[in-house]
Amino acid sequence: MKDIMGMMKAASEMKGKMEAMQADLANLVVEGRSGGGLVVVSLSGKGDLRGVKIDPSLFKEDDVEVLEDLIVAAHADAKTKSEAEMQQRMAEVTSGLPIPPGMKFPF
């Protein structure tokens, strides 16, 4: 019975930590870059697009396709960084709990 009570207490503590982490992630801003920094995309920790910065040198009619590709690449970079940050924070919150590998949080 002590193990069950310990697990319940740990689960309750984890819930509080997860709520705090989710609030932190909502305020987190991650930048992805492409083209050597000519295109910068900002995402929230939850993956919401917050901003796009484009170097003025890319505003040429014949470079539209290159610009589009750079925006996609910068977004992918920012999303990868955001997911890595979330996984790192989740590992800190769930450390010590027996969670099956591959289980994604938040539910």
| Domains defined for the chain, CATH in brackets | 28-94 (3.30.1310.10)
Q: Mean pLDDT in the chain?
A: 80
Say if residue 2's pLDDT is above 70. Answer: no
* Band (105; pLDDT cuts 50, 70, 90): low
pLDDT in tens, 24-57: 877 888 899 999 999 898 888 777 888 888 888 8
Single out the residue of 48, 15, 7, 16 nearest to residue 30, CA to CA.
48
* Band (101; pLDDT cuts 50, 70, 90): low
Global pTM? 0.58
Q: How far apart are CA 23 and CA 27, in angstroms?
A: 7
Which residue pairs from 48-52 have beta carbons closer than 8 angstroms and sit at least 24 positions apart in sequence? 49/75
